Amino acid sequence: MTLFDKYSSLFLSGFGYTIMASLLALVASLVLGTVFALLQLSKKKGWAMVGNGYVQFFRNVPLLIITLFFYLAVAKVIKMTGFAAGTIALSLYTSAFIAECVRAGILSVDTGQMEGALANGLSYGQAMRKIILPQAFRIAIPSLGNQFINLVKNSSILAFVGGLDLMYQGNIVAANSFDTFTAYMIVGAFYLVLTLPLSYFMQYLEARTQGNQ
Amino acid sequence: MNDFFAALSADNLSYLLQGLGVTVGVSIFSIIISLIVGSFVGIAMFEKIPYFSSLIGTLNNIVRNLPLLLIIFFTYFSLPQVGIRLPIFWSTVVAMSFFEAAMLSEIIRGGLESIDKGQFEGARSTGMSNKQTMLYVIMPQAYKKMIPPLISQLISLVKDTSLASGIVLADLTYRGQVVYAQNSHYIVPILIFMTFAYFVVNYLLSLLAKYFDRKLA
Amino acid sequence: MEKNKKRLFGIIASILLVAFLIIAGVWAANAAQKNQTHQDTLERVKTTKQISWGVKTDTKLFGLVNTKTGKSEGFDVDLAKALTKQIGKQLNLNLTPTFTPVNASSKVQLLKNTNIDGVLAVMTITKERAKVVDFSDSYFPAGNSLLVKKDSGINSIKDLNDSSKTVLVALGTTAADTVKKEAPNAKILALQDYASAMQALKAGQGQAIVTDNAILYGLATENPDYKVVGGTLSYGPYGVAFDHNQKGMVEETNKALATLKKNGTYNALIKKWFGQVPGLDISQLEVK
């Protein structure tokens, strides 16, 4: 553990950046994902196509390429750090998966509820916001949780663009100490501190909802 | 537009396409290995063998919750420290298969659990053995249910091979970086080309999956 | 009965799996500790009749991939070929060189893994590194300098000593130490390799790249809006790296290098790769 003592400040600062990137991307991708899920379900063909195109695009293109695009091409026009470029790419990428989860959630809410709400004089937007979406999110919680775990893991992409995250610092420690074995073991342990509790919590929720059925 | 043609000159294009070959090669080997290993692990978790299943489940959880990038770096840079040396291509295949098997096994377990318990008893009562029930009754149905999540996981696998560019595997992503290292005007054209290439491979993969899906139905 | 059988199976399988994991863990810990049992590089070269070199793929003038052939080209690559031939002559063997692409984080690992025999990849000789690898005599007199945009107004490292400035370096190079010493207030951002650092500079992620001047001249020829400034900040000659305790291989390499320098091969290679670089005086590089 002497390696950890020697480089603890690097590991801890990387851990902080990883958490920050994950939280920022979580909020952004939840918002974007919901918007694009609604677009996909829109009755207007044009909007639905935009929604579908967005989701299909980001689901089929590597996150690394999207990150490089922001870091190398977009950053020339709009200045941004590697951390920002990585976090934006991560948000867009994850939002496509979240859109799928939310869409599935909305579709599994009984269509009668929408009709009922509309019959009671609520507008489409009101019905969506007050009646359908809350239920859809509740249904989608397990799959959303898995996407969040993926998001935390995928934040390691920041290492490719000098994003100061855990993996970036791990590479620096590995390159400086030449003890790659221990360096990456420590990095792995830090990621597990974030992802394992989440994963068990999701399994617990899943088991509970299955028990309720 | 001129940049686009210059970036994708005949030499560069053939260099990039060879990289696409590496990407596809790594993907195919990893898909095959991780499907086989993932099925075994998934069944082991589903069977609820006392102690063993939960032990496997815990190990599986640890692997699933690590970043793939870390596993790729670890396999290539750290395993040699304990005497396990693999050429870069196989090192990537091992890392991808190890990680993806864990992801797929979770999908396979979930698919098996969604099959009605009554079917087991029904099949058993017609005189089928445990193994036969699994092979002829449960697995085909389970696979049918699993296909959509399996496909999206396999698409993720293909995309994630790009991470191996970090250990200098000469795949499509790495070669793209080599090409735009020559001239920074090539960055955008090359990124567009790579996006397109990955999209096509993944689209073909999903078409193939749809074909199998229809055959099973 | 069926249930008991399953339970027994579960217990036995679990014990076996746990035992396997413990044994693997202990074995790995042991193996990691006594990783020093490496092979003799010279012996391996003699038996395989080839020398496998780690070279760069993204560094102009030293090792840059030609997409037509898919192979790296540059001073390092040519020197590796010449060294292979000369060492072959010394050993009375017909040796062939092979090349493996490396980056900053992989080069030492690959040496240790014996995937490659030697590294000729713009690697500066440092005390820290000499603890884990063996170096030959210096084969190139490099030193750290700055690459900046022509109209940036930055003329020396002192202009960067400010917390609003970011200096770009490549991961696993000596440049970060130089910057920490000369401009302690500047922020340092480490990128995967030189090409990424150059892209980052162009994208405005930092104000300067600090690394070896010869590499910077290479980048400047590609990117005419940028120039090398600041003189030589630290002297950091390149060496050929081998795994630790490879006395035989290092001696053969030094002997071959001395011969190449004497018979004019070395100067010819310097002229071939650096003769056309604007702003670089090759008389400083040539051996007399």
Residue in C closest to B12 by C-alpha: C67
Q: Tell me the average pLDDT across A89-99.
A: 96
Q: The tokens of A59 are what? A: 């689901």
Q: Report the pLDDT value the prediction gives residue B160, as an integer from 0 to 100.
A: 95
- Exposure pattern of C210-238 as b/e (b: 16+ CB <10 Å)? bbbbbbbbbbbbbbeebbbbbeebbebeb
Which residues of chain A have a CB within 8 Å of the CB of C202? Answer: 76
Q: Tell me the average pLDDT across C235-239.
A: 88
Phi, psi for residue A109 in degrees, rounded to 5: -80, 135
Q: What is the DSSP letter of C36?
A: T
d(CA B103, CA B63): 9
Q: Report the pLDDT value the prediction gives residue C26, as an integer from 0 to 100.
A: 86
Q: Tell me the average pLDDT across C55-60.
A: 85
Partner chains of A (3+ C-beta pairs under 8 Å): B, C
| Highest mean predicted confidence (pLDDT) among A143-147, B119-123, C129-133 | A143-147
Residue in C closest to A74 by C-alpha: C203
Q: Which of B68, B81, B199 lies closest to A61 in CB terms?
A: B199
Residue A213 pLDDT > 70: no
Q: Which of B14, B50, B178 lies closest to C10 in CB terms?
A: B50
Q: Report the pLDDT value the prediction gives residue B104, as an integer from 0 to 100.
A: 94
Whether chain B has a CB inside 8 Å of the CB on C195: the answer is yes
CATH level 2 (architecture), domain B2-216: Orthogonal Bundle (1.10)
Q: Report the pLDDT value the prediction gives residue B163, as an integer from 0 to 100.
A: 95
Instruction: Please state, as a whole number, how many other Cβ atoms lie within 10 Å of the Cβ of residue C33.
Output: 10
Q: Say yes or no for a CB contact (<8 Å) between C10 and B51.
A: yes
Based on the fold, state whether residues C137 and C241 are members of the same structural domain. yes
Length of chain B, please?
Answer: 217
Give the closest-approach CA distance of C66 to chain B in angstroms: 9
Last residue of one domain, picked from the residues C235, C253, C274: C235
Which residues of chain C have a CB within 8 Å of the CB of B178? Answer: 57-58, 65, 67, 195
SS3 C236: coil
Based on the fold, state whether residues C123 and C65 are members of the same structural domain. yes
Residues of chain B with confidence (pLDDT) below 50: none
Partner chains of B (3+ C-beta pairs under 8 Å): A, C
Which residues of chain A have a CB within 8 Å of the CB of B68? Answer: 153
| ipTM here | 0.89
Residue A12 pLDDT > 90: yes
Q: Tell me the average pLDDT across A21-31.
A: 97
Three-state SS letters, A149-193: HHHHHHHHHHHHHCCCCHHHHHHHHHHHHCCHHHHHHHHHHHHHH
Q: Report the pLDDT value the prediction gives residue A149, as an integer from 0 to 100.
A: 94
Instruction: Provide the sign of the torsion angle of the four alpha carbons C175, C180, C183, C186, taken in this order.
Output: positive
Which of A164, A178, A185, A187 to substitute to test the interface with C, most C CBs within 10 Å?
A178
Phi, psi for residue C137 in degrees, rounded to 5: -65, 160
Which H or E run includes C111?
helix C107-112
d(CA B3, CA B58): 51
Which residues of chain A have a CB within 8 Å of the CB of C172? Answer: 175-176
Cβ–Cβ < 8 Å for B3, B192: no
Residue C127 pLDDT > 60: yes
Which residues of chain A have a CB within 8 Å of the CB of C32? Answer: 181
What's the CATH number where C152 sits?
3.40.190.10
Residue in A closest to B176 by C-alpha: A65
Q: Report the pLDDT value the prediction gives residue B217, as an integer from 0 to 100.
A: 61
d(CA C117, CA C94): 17
Residue C35 pLDDT > 60: no
Residue A212 pLDDT > 70: no
Based on the fold, state whether residues C116 and C241 are members of the same structural domain. yes
Is C63 a member of any domain?
yes
Q: Say yes or no for a CB contact (<8 Å) between A64 and B77.
A: no
Domains contained in chain A, CATH given: 20-167 (1.10.3720.10)
Q: Report the pLDDT value the prediction gives residue B195, as an integer from 0 to 100.
A: 95
Q: Say yes or no for a CB contact (<8 Å) between A162 and C190.
A: yes
Whether chain C has a CB inside 8 Å of the CB on A8: the answer is no
Residue C36 pLDDT > 60: no
User: Which residue range(s) make up the domain with C120?
Assistant: 41-141+237-284
Cβ–Cβ < 8 Å for C60, C24: no
Q: Tell me the average pLDDT across A70-88.
A: 88
Which of A64, A107, A180, A191 to substitute to test the interface with B, most B CBs within 10 Å?
A64
Whether chain B has a CB inside 8 Å of the CB on C31: the answer is yes
Higher pLDDT, B203 or A94: A94
Q: Which of B11, B168, B177 lies closest to C106 in CB terms?
A: B168
Is C33 a member of any domain?
no
Which residues of chain A have a CB within 8 Å of the CB of B74? Answer: 180, 184, 188
In what order do the strands lie in the sheet containing C238-243? C96-101, C50-55, C118-119, C238-243, C133-140
In the numeric block, the tokens 């590294």 are attached to: C119
Based on the fold, state whether residues C103 and C193 are members of the same structural domain. no
Q: Say yes or no for a CB contact (<8 Å) between A171 and C204.
A: no
Based on the fold, state whether residues C250 and C265 are members of the same structural domain. yes
Phi, psi for residue B114 in degrees, rounded to 5: -80, -10
Q: Say yes or no for a CB contact (<8 Å) between B18 and C70.
A: yes
Whether chain B has a CB inside 8 Å of the CB on C25: the answer is no
Distances (CA, A) of B141 to B147, B148, B153, C151: 10, 13, 19, 68
Q: Report the pLDDT value the prediction gives residue B95, as an integer from 0 to 100.
A: 97
Which of C36, C196, C201, C244 to substitute to test the interface with A, most A CBs within 10 Å?
C196
**Chain segment C98-115, per-residue pLDDT in tens:** 998 887 777 887 887 777
Q: Round the average pLDDT of chain C to a whole number and report it.
A: 87
Which residues of chain B have a CB within 8 Å of the CB of C108? Answer: none
Which stretches of chain B sit within 8 Å of chain A by CB?
61-62, 64-70, 73-74, 77-78, 81-82, 152, 155, 159-160, 162-163, 165-166, 173, 177, 180, 187-188, 191, 194-195, 198-199, 202-203
d(CA B108, CA B97): 15
Based on the fold, state whether residues C192 and C242 are members of the same structural domain. no
Q: Provide, rounded to the nearest whole percent, the portion of chain A with pLDDT above 70.
A: 97
Q: Which of A73, A179, A191 lies closest to B70 in CB terms?
A: A191
